[in-house]
Structure formats: C-alpha cells, structure tokens
Amino acid sequence: MAQNLSKRTIDLQNFYGYTLIELLIVMMTMVLLFGLGFANYRGFQRRQSLEGVVRMVKADLRLAQANALSGKKPSSGNCSAVASNILYYSFAYVDSDTYAYGAVCPTESNIKQVDITGATMSAFSEIRFNVLGRGTNITGQTVITITSGAGSKDITVRSGGTIE
C-alpha cells in the first residue's frame, strides 16, 4: 500500500505545470487572434476614413446649395453688398485631393478651398448652384467618385440639385 501511495504522489506532481508545447500553442493562438483583430480594425478604420471624406464633401455641396437657394450673401468682399450681385455658388474640382466652393460675383469670388486627406477624388465639371432656386448648370447628372484604400464611393448631383 505504501508503494501505491508514493507512485500516486509522483504521478500527481507531473500535472502541476504546463508543458512547453501547451504554452506555445496558447501563445500562437493569442498572436493569431490579435493579428486578425488588428487587420480587421485597420480595415474598419480605412472605411470610416472614406465615409468621413464622403460626408464632408456632401456637407459642403449641401452648404453651397442651401446658400444659393436662400441667396445668402458672403460676409466679406464685394458679394456682400447686394444680394443680386451673386451670380451663383460654385463647387469645383481643383486637383485629386482638393476642391473649392463658394459664392461667385461679377467682380470677385469668395471661394474656399478644402483639402481632403486619406482619399482622392475624380475630376468633375464645375457644379453651379444658381441663386434663389434657379437650378443648376448640370444636364443629367454629375458623379464625384471618392477613392481610398478601403474602396470607392460615388456622390451624384442631379440636374435638379439632388445630392445623393
């Protein structure tokens, strides 16, 4: 009986720790899960960056459109003197990562340039929102494509001024 007890004690002592193989398997599993999670997070971050740029461009398009519909005068420059001096509000392509928007008057323009980061935009013709609900210069539709590492999104401006 004494032999059985000592043999059992020896067998139990072998189960008090982890083997090197078990530790390596756990560590490799953790590294794999972290790597997959990080890759998914980077993809999510890129998609959110693209969505942010698209929201910013749409917001500036809608601002130019709203200012044109209301006939709002800019606060500075010759355009601010008389509302009828405003010819139209412009939204124009400058280069692949810059666009410009603002009021255009006979003598000067009140244009703001905006740089987009983390994405590029396709070239498009100038979009003119005529003042006081007189429509746009678009026949059919104009498509602005925003592209980044996460893919691309289209912004469509129709002749009636609808922004999608």
pLDDT in tens, 40-84: 898 899 999 999 999 999 999 999 999 888 888 777 666 655 555
How many other CB atoms are there within 10 angstroms of residue 112's CB atom? 13
8 inside domain: no
44 inside domain: yes
Task: Give the structural domain span for 65.
Answer: 36-158
- Listed in sequence order, the residues at least 6 apart from 107 whose beta carbon sits closer than 8 Å to its beta carbon are 78, 85
Q: Give the model's pLDDT for residue 78.
A: 60
- Listed in sequence order, the residues at least 6 apart from 62 whose beta carbon sits closer than 8 Å to its beta carbon are 163
Cα 142 from Cα 33, distance rounded (Å): 44
Question: How many structural domains compose the chain?
Answer: 1
Q: Report strand pairing: 98-104 vs 120-121.
A: unpaired
Which residue from 95, 89, 97, 98 is spatially nearest to 61, judged by alpha carbons? 89
28 inside domain: no
Cα 20 from Cα 50, distance rounded (Å): 45
Q: Give the model's pLDDT for residue 105.
A: 82
Q: Give the model's pLDDT for residue 145.
A: 95
153 inside domain: yes
Residue type, 153: K
Cα 47 from Cα 90, distance rounded (Å): 29
Which residue from 112, 74, 105 is spatially nearest to 88, judged by alpha carbons? 105
Cα 104 from Cα 27, distance rounded (Å): 63
1 inside domain: no
Q: Give the model's pLDDT for residue 80.
A: 59
Q: Give the model's pLDDT for residue 8.
A: 56
Q: Give the model's pLDDT for residue 11.
A: 58
7 inside domain: no
Which residue from 144, 69, 86 is spatially nearest to 114, judged by alpha carbons? 144
30 inside domain: no
Q: Give the model's pLDDT for residue 18.
A: 84
147 inside domain: yes
Low-confidence ranges of the chain (pLDDT < 50): none
Q: Give the model's pLDDT for residue 13.
A: 57
Q: Whole-prediction pTM value?
A: 0.76
Q: Give the model's pLDDT for residue 61.
A: 94
Cα 15 from Cα 80, distance rounded (Å): 85
